[in-house]
Structure formats: C-alpha cells, structure tokens
Amino acid sequence: MVERIQTIFQPMKILFTGGVKSGKSSHAEKRVLKMSRGKKPVYLATTELLDPEMKERISEHRRRRGAKFHTLEEPLHLADTLVSTEVPVLVECLTMWLNNAIHHQLSEKKIFAEIENLLLLDCDVIFVLNEVGMGIIPDNSLARKFVDLSGRIAQQLGEACDEVNLCVAGILLKIK
C-alpha cells in the first residue's frame, strides 16, 4: 500500500511572478509554509551579496522569514543543492539566479538545463521570478539578453508548472 501511495504522489511545481516589490515573495513564503504541513520547508536563496544595497535586501528577507525556514544559499547550482530534499522548497529567486548565471557566463544550454532539473525534483517546489517583460526593450545587448532569457524561463515554467500566480500591487491573481 505504501508503495502505491508513493507512486501516485506527484510533486507540485508552482510559479509566483510579478514586478519588483509586488508582494510575490511573501505570497510564495505563505504558500510553501502551508504546503509543508508543520515541517520546516527549505528556502533556497540565490542572491549573491555584491553591494551594500543588496546586503540590505538580503537582511530584509532574512528578518521576514525568521526561523520558519531551513535556509540554503546557492547562487548557481540549484538542482544539485536540492537533489535529496523531501520537504517543500521555495526558490527565491530565479531572477537573481539568472543574473548570477549571466555574470558567471553560463551558456543558455546550461541555464535551461538547470531549470529543467529543478522541474524534475521529486519534491514540491515554488519558484519566484520577476516579470521583466512588461516594459520597454532595453537599449543595450546585455539587458536585452537578460530580459529575453527571463521571458523564456517564464514560458518554460509557465508551461511546466501545475500552478502559475501573478502578483500585482500585493494582490495575487491565479493565472493557471
């Protein structure tokens, strides 16, 4: 009977997207806590500490989540970090991870392979990704590359995830 239940279990993959400071992270945190059913979920933080302003943002996120999460910090190799995880995971955030991947010159093939490997994890995963494609086309090639890759990642996740949510002005809209 236990084997049958285990084969039926399909881990959920959920995407929270929206603009900067739209409220998507706090909604994603609430959702992963609910999904964890009293167990401490994993919070995979992807942001590299590169400047004082980013240090303050990271501190704000740490204060907000407190001790409710088991925090892992990994800027590039997300799926490898999570491969043996059994509790729900919040990946915060793929936008900063993409920034890291471009900075460290990962190929597009490696970028999309990493996303695919995250989608194949055998645990519930909630992804946070900024919506960056609703503005103007950037005036430089690096920014255009970032926007294009981010949009393609959003499409990959949108197709593969069981649920997609858009956060606007703190209000959550279920898209899928």
Model confidence, pTM: 0.90
Does residue 5 fall inside a structural domain?
Answer: no
Does residue 121 fall inside a structural domain?
Answer: yes
Q: Count how many domains the chain has.
A: 1
Does residue 1 fall inside a structural domain?
Answer: no
Q: Summarize pLDDT for 5-33 with one digit per residue, the tens.
A: 555 678 999 999 999 999 999 999 999 99
Q: Summarize pLDDT for 37-66 with one digit per residue, the tens.
A: 889 999 999 988 778 888 888 888 888 888
Catalytic residue, chosen from 27, 61, 77, 104, is 61
* pLDDT at residue 4, rounded to an integer: 47
Catalytic-residue membership of 61: yes
8 Å CB contact between 167 and 23: yes
Q: Which domain holds residue 74?
A: 12-174
**CATH no. for residue 127?**
3.40.50.300
Q: Summarize pLDDT for 122-156 with one digit per residue, the tens.
A: 999 999 999 998 888 889 999 999 999 999 999 99
Over the chain, what is the mean pLDDT? 92
Cα 31 from chain centroid (whole Å): 13
